[in-house]
Structure 1
């Protein structure tokens, strides 16, 4: 009966009325403040998705109305005098509501941050979406785990055994899927360090092609012959990767040879003409052209120049034009390209004489051991 009589007390209903009125007033004020701040920040950040005003506006817009109402009720309950047990319960409820709201704000901020990394500035290409997804998931797991453990600890639950169990279970899972995890962390390393990106032309080992997809476990490459090459991320990072997409210029070295019977003055002119040809070719920078040395059947020239472009097709067009002009220049100088040639000398032996029926024989000169004789037909 005493429990029911308390509800007949006039002071109790006055306290309840104060709490309800204060809750409504506080909730209205907080809603208005949140709405004003959100509207102002949204107006300031209009057309500028990457600035901090837009970021804060989106985070504030994630304020939960239920949690805001609970927060207002907790504030209102502090106005009347309450028993000590009620005060302890209110302190726990305060922490739960505040922790949940902070976790929601952080969750929204992390998702917005990861999306901005993928999109990049000014709508351009940003970071690898796989990398940003992995980072955002890891951060969100940490945030919500810390929030839940903090709430349990605030409610008086002993979380020591729970944390220890999670640690042991995490080690066991990591050992079971260590191969997969190595590829996942390799993917994260690719996303952070960015040795290559989607669309880059890479060469490693016997593989040459363009990056098509960078996943959690594998990277897929479209090779020059057309097939798709799938390589594990961890294995890919263990190799030396040549990224030709990031090459600004190409240093070209090529050689050619001219005949040994070319006079020395024309040999000098060949170097000068090669330099004139390359200097007159667009998108090139001449470095050097030298008479390199004496090879088996040619006088060898070595030419070095720089192509001011990374495009392989453009380099081949330039090299073709240089070759054609070099061919015309050598013809004007009356200089012949070297052809494979080999001279044979027989010392100390007499060349055999071949006799053909019906052909009169001629007197043969005396043999000389130092002569080089060709076969004679008779």
Structure 2
């Protein structure tokens, strides 16, 4: 069949064809001009508005508008004005779905990439390593492939192809693969969670119920930690995330609490002076905010003071130096005041049995020999 015969079979007049072609040309100019105008408006934004996430996503997404999609959309607009016989009216509907669906999938493909990279850049604090890069790439890749898979299935369904069996097969295959590699997948998703949420990073000092150490490397399956003893601990990511992790590197302040015990025979007047003088010693230290010094316990063995203060810097060497200085000055203060930290003296009563010279036998009945 020749092209002329094919066109003649559609029963399209020259007037209708000219109107459809003009509509297609006008549509192309209008759509292309609208896309160009929107891109120019977005590029002209400056200041805080230009740094908004939605503006950044729209700028990169609309820039991916395909000229082929614009041409196809314009031709379809023109064809929609024609009175086409079956089955061409239905085919035009399928072409509408494929054209707009493909362009929407392209938009979502690039929007996912831009949004994910922006999120990882903001929440990653600029610290990128191999594990983080791989994890980000896997997340973006999985989301993008999900978009194209949904579009492909929707397109096949729109064309009249039954995709129910295909979707069920994918589901069964996915379940089988997931059951076979569930431990690996669990550690992989745990790695993605670590890379995204960042409960700890390389170089952080962490503590879990079983050990304390510094993070050396976070891989796709395991995390390597250098313990204080020098040994390297390798633990699965999923298992590590199931534990309660204390991240000491992110500790901003340090709370110090200890008890001071003095002899219970200390006079009440001297005991009342201890909180004030000890508070003065603590408040004189750098980066220290006193909470309280209070007498909390009094019994026959000792008087107990509860001492609490906060360091505005969580640096561990600073804590050791400050605590040592406070304790040494406390010792001098107690010596000057004549207060003892010794507990109450205990009395020991010893009862001696009455001497019995006539009985020289041991409890077992054997005779005791006199010593010369």
TM-score range, shorter chain: 0.7 to 0.9
Distance in structure 1 (CA, Å) of the matches to 2:328 and 2:299: 24
Look up the match of 1:92: 94
Look up the match of 1:73: 75
How many residues of Structure 1 are paired with residues of Structure 2 in the alignment?
Answer: 346
Question: How far 1:246 sits from its partner (Å)?
Answer: 4.6
Per-residue CA distance 1:48-85 (angstroms, 9 max, x = gap):
33342232222111112222222222223334554423
Greater length-normalized contact order (CA 8 Å, ≥ 6 residues apart) = 2
| Matched ranges for 1:141-160 at <5 A | 141-160=145-164
**Contact 1:117–1:126 (Cα < 8 Å) also in 2:** no
Question: How far 1:243 sits from its partner (Å)?
Answer: 3.0
**Contact 1:271–1:291 (Cα < 8 Å) also in 2:** no
SS in 2 for 1:120: helix
Question: How far 1:165 sits from its partner (Å)?
Answer: 0.6
Question: How far 1:109 sits from its partner (Å)?
Answer: 1.3
**Contact 1:50–1:116 (Cα < 8 Å) also in 2:** no
Look up the match of 2:106: 104
Distance in structure 2 (CA, Å) of the matches to 1:40 and 1:217: 46
Q: Check 1:199–1:24 CA distance in 2 against 1; reply closer, same or farther (3 A cut).
A: farther
The answer as to 2:116 corresponding to 1:114 is yes
Q: Check 1:306–1:90 CA distance in 2 against 1; reply closer, same or farther (3 A cut).
A: same
Question: How far 1:232 sits from its partner (Å)?
Answer: 1.4
Look up the match of 1:284: 289
Look up the match of 1:37: 38
Distance in structure 2 (CA, Å) of the matches to 1:329 and 1:316: 20
**Contact 1:7–1:13 (Cα < 8 Å) also in 2:** no
Compute the TM-score of the two structures, normalised by the length of structure 2: 0.75
Per-residue CA distance 1:167-213 (angstroms, 9 max, x = gap):
11011001011101222333455567664455543210232234455
**Contact 2:187–2:237 (Cα < 8 Å) also in 1:** yes
**Contact 1:45–1:54 (Cα < 8 Å) also in 2:** no
Per-residue CA distance 1:222-241 (angstroms, 9 max, x = gap):
44456654321211122222
The answer as to 2:275 corresponding to 1:274 is no
Q: Check 1:130–1:293 CA distance in 2 against 1; reply closer, same or farther (3 A cut).
A: farther
SS in 2 for 1:92: helix
Compute the TM-score of the two structures, normalised by the length of structure 1: 0.74
Distance in structure 1 (CA, Å) of the matches to 2:291 and 2:258: 13
Distance in structure 2 (CA, Å) of the matches to 1:264 and 1:81: 108
Question: How far 1:117 sits from its partner (Å)?
Answer: 1.0
Look up the match of 1:203: 207
RMSD: 4.0
Distance in structure 2 (CA, Å) of the matches to 1:112 and 1:212: 30
Distance in structure 2 (CA, Å) of the matches to 1:126 and 1:109: 23
Comparing 304-313 and 65-74, the one that deviates more: 304-313
Distance in structure 2 (CA, Å) of the matches to 1:110 and 1:44: 22
**Contact 1:58–1:108 (Cα < 8 Å) also in 2:** yes
**Contact 2:264–2:300 (Cα < 8 Å) also in 1:** no
| Matched ranges for 1:9-20 at <5 A | none
The answer as to 2:53 corresponding to 1:57 is no
Question: How far 1:118 sits from its partner (Å)?
Answer: 1.1
Question: How far 1:346 sits from its partner (Å)?
Answer: 6.2
Q: Which runs of 5+ in 2 are unaligned?
A: 355-372
Per-residue CA distance 1:305-351 (angstroms, 9 max, x = gap):
33333332332232122123223323322445659x9998865389x
| Matched ranges for 1:214-225 at <5 A | 214-224=218-228
The answer as to 2:330 corresponding to 1:326 is yes
Question: How far 1:136 sits from its partner (Å)?
Answer: 3.7
Distance in structure 1 (CA, Å) of the matches to 2:226 and 2:163: 51
**Contact 1:275–1:289 (Cα < 8 Å) also in 2:** no
